Amino acid sequence: MASSSSSILPSPSSSISTANSQLSLPSSLWREPLTDIPTITLSPFLPHQLPPRPPQEAQQFGNGAPSNYRFQYSACTGRRKALLIGINYIGQPNQLRGCINDVANMSTYLHQKAGYRREDMVILTDDQENRMSVPNKANIMRAMQWLVKDAQPNDSLFIHFSGHGGRTPDLDGDEDDGYDDVIYPVDYRIAGHIVDDDMHSIMVRPLQPGVRLTAIFDSCHSGTALDLPYVYSTQGILKEPNLAKEAAQDLFSAITSYGKGDLSGMAQTAIGFFKKAAIGDSARQRTVMTKTSPADVVMFSGSKDTQTSADTFQDGEARGALSWAFIKTLQQRPHQNYLQLLNSIRAELEGKYTQKPQLSCSHPLDVNLLFVM
């Protein structure tokens, strides 16, 4: 079992989430080994030319959004920071085998192939003795704050989580299916899980236009683990919001206030928004009104919200299936567009696992652009 070096986390700046004490995790939500199921394997992608790089000018959301509400792709030429979390739940029921290996392999890939310096990585795994490097709830949430702190346009941030995920009843009405996606820290039985709403609030909402956050969630029920509203399948667009409905609401003025640092204005706008949201708006409308972002946030998840993710055995060691496939396909074909990368990942897993990795984004994504991070 691989172990890895770690960075010492800064002191917490604030308390973020209330712990759920004595949480019992249903066995149906664990990431479990899956048996091989024969399916048709996709043909490998054979690139003929390099996909276009992301444009640097501001982009309109379209689809009914106000013309002054825009997002910006990141060139990923600025500072790089990475947070890597791998939890095997050593000595606990339903222990995993590959998550610590996933983090070791991902850190090597990021350092050798993607320009991330070791000193700009925080690594949390449950085989470490340093208490600040243990992936408990407090350390994970503090590390998420560290990841996005002081991020500037064209910076490239990266978060990788390999461990157990699950679902919990949605308490704020922002999920279509009535469930929030959650991840389980090593101390979940005492401290509770971490909900997708909290992860979005910490890592997505503070980001400026042009900041890239790339997220890899290799866990069960992880399809919308960051609550990103644009979801893509191997055929392209799968789900996108109708922003024409949002234009009549207070979303865009709230985001404008936030971008200008006008927190008081944002607070007043948010009060008005939530009053409206409480009176009969659909879960989908509320999600989009709070979860779109002018930043450049892209996530690959190990499975749909309703699926489990698999531990696998590849290249002589236990791995998470998505973590392994993501690294392998980029090592073999580093210059793919987003749609090609998603198809390549799925092709690696097809015929072996039933899970279907997903791609989601904080803004409308041109899936024909070159994947950069």
Active-site annotation, residues: 164, 220
Q: Please, what's the b/e burial string for 328-341 (b: 16 or more CB within 10 A of its CB; e: otherwise)?
A: bbbeeeeebbbbbb
Q: Which residues contact 34 (CB under 8 A, 6 or more apart)?
A: 308, 310, 353, 354, 355
The candidate with the shortest Cα–Cα distance to 361, out of 179, 227, 221, is 227
**CA separation (Å) from 314 to 138, 303, 324?**
32, 19, 8
Query: Is-contact 89 100, C-beta < 8 A?
Result: no
Side by side, which strands form the sheet with 194-195? 165-169, 179-183, 194-195
Ramachandran region, residue 221 (left: φ > 0; alpha: ψ -120 to 50; beta: rest): left
* Cα(370)–Cα(338) distance, integer angstroms: 7
* Cα(312)–Cα(182) distance, integer angstroms: 22
